[in-house]
Structure 1
Amino acid sequence: MRSRLATLFDSTYERVLRREIGEGPDHVAIIQDGNRRYARSRGDDAHDGYHAGADTTERVLDWCADLGIEELTLYAFSTENFDRPAEQRETLFDLLEDKLREFADADRVHEQGVCIRALGDVERLPSRVRDAVEYAEGRTAGYDEFTLNIALAYGGRNELLGAVRAVARDVADGDLAADDVGVAEVESRLYRRPVRDVDLIIRTGGDERTSNFLPWHANGNEAAAYFCSPYWPEFSKVDFLRSIRTYEAREESWRRTRAKRAAALVRSLAAVELDEARTVAGRLRERLPGEATDEELTEALEVDGAGTRETAD
């Protein structure tokens, strides 16, 4: 009975949340944390948690399609994960290999036009995972309706360090002038990039940190962040919709802030211009004999302004 009531409540709440949100973000990035803790809480092995998390990933793809989200990036394997015990690494490598090939062959991936891409230092991965990456990318390369980025052997700090070193080498070799180094020059030397900057980062599992994830494309874009307590295998559509609502509330707040800043700037400029006009008018009244009429003052202001422009030129 309680299970049926919970299901009914979730279904009703989903509809309420869906009505509350609008267009939503274009690009969502997710740190899928808590697979092992989920398994331990149930008395299972770590690999059971990873497989349960993979099922959540498939559901999230459907939710993105329902909401019209155009790009999803999943933090599947970080550079720090290489420090895990060999058994855990091999379990993750096996799962990544299986899921990449499974996604590449899934009917819904082809029906929804999903392009699968890997982001990160893929060459560090075992050959079987690299082969699966190549297979998935090759099978979906022609699609552009939805982009699924899998962050593999990814570390944001390493990515930025690599880009900076590449820029420094090009400057030292004379292939790039130091004064020409800008955003485009750095971006072109990052790992393969997401198609769009990140609008929203979601992290499950209770930790409130972004863990070296997409610093250029998320933090640089001032992406919204949503942290929630459910472990990744427990992450529900209600949680996902809440994250979208948080993103939209933040965007609305930013719009109000930008509008206030723009209004303050306009008022400031108007005050400066008014003060300058009064100063000029005062000088002109001293220059004109007797009591100047409005027409004379206007004409004099135009002459003075022209003289000022000529001097500035």
Structure 2
Amino acid sequence: MKKVSFAEFGGPDVLRLIDAEEPHAGPGRIRIAVRAAGVNPVDWRVREGQVLGAHPTVLPSGVGLDAAGVVDEVGEGVEGVEIGDRVFGEGADTYAEFAVLSAWARMPEGLSFEEAAGYPSVVETALRVIGQVGVRPGETLLVSGASGGVGSAVLQIARDRGIAVIGTGGAANQDYLRGLGALATTYGEGWVERVRGLGRVDAALDLAGSGVIPELVALTGDPGKVITIADLGAPEFGVRFSGVAGSVPDALAEAVDLIERGRLHIPVEKSYALTEAAQAHADSRAGHTRGRRVVVVRSDA
């Protein structure tokens, strides 16, 4: 099968499309014929060797956590899923023609494979950080870097829970953020004053890693009310870096519920072929994403 791999840590240029042995579903796992794989910032952080503590990596290594596809092997002890089912979920080495998933759910009706591949890690992360930051219904959450995949999920989940959101993003994404129910403002010079003008901030999330941790602490008045998923230096300011996933099966179940109730939709900004994985990583690292980026593995996705 075809698979994206890297044999050394480095930039996007270390990625190679190789011929590899097909993986197989062990106990408690399923294998899918991958239709599409989600592109997440953690993918290029792993490739660069940034997060070896949370993601031990043995070289050569595959790439990717999220995928959507069709079940073609069911491991021992697995119930409730059959060969031919359309599923989305999380596993390993998903930028490939076949991948083994450790957590999955049936795709909601009406969702394409490309769309579905963009949900697993993003929704798990969004649910996790909303819980960790301790924001409650009736309070206001500030989201720095709100227009990407996690931000898009946070805004919609918060709205569903009765939490008001202020979102910062680029000038081109202001209408997008407002469409997701946020009070929106741009980042850049004067952004703290603009946020203060929109109201009180009870808690804050840093999703972009753009060096704003001190300002978020000042806006909330408490480093314990700030969580980051992108700034590795945040602990210097007493702010928690959230990098360890919670229950992916629970997150997928909640994602299905939200999608089926029409409360969650994350658009696909751009799709890439397997041969374009390096460009997908470069674009993801550059930021300014509106929604999700995905790698399309099969043309029937």
Normalising to structure 1: TM-score of the pair?
Answer: 0.29
Normalising to structure 2: TM-score of the pair?
Answer: 0.30
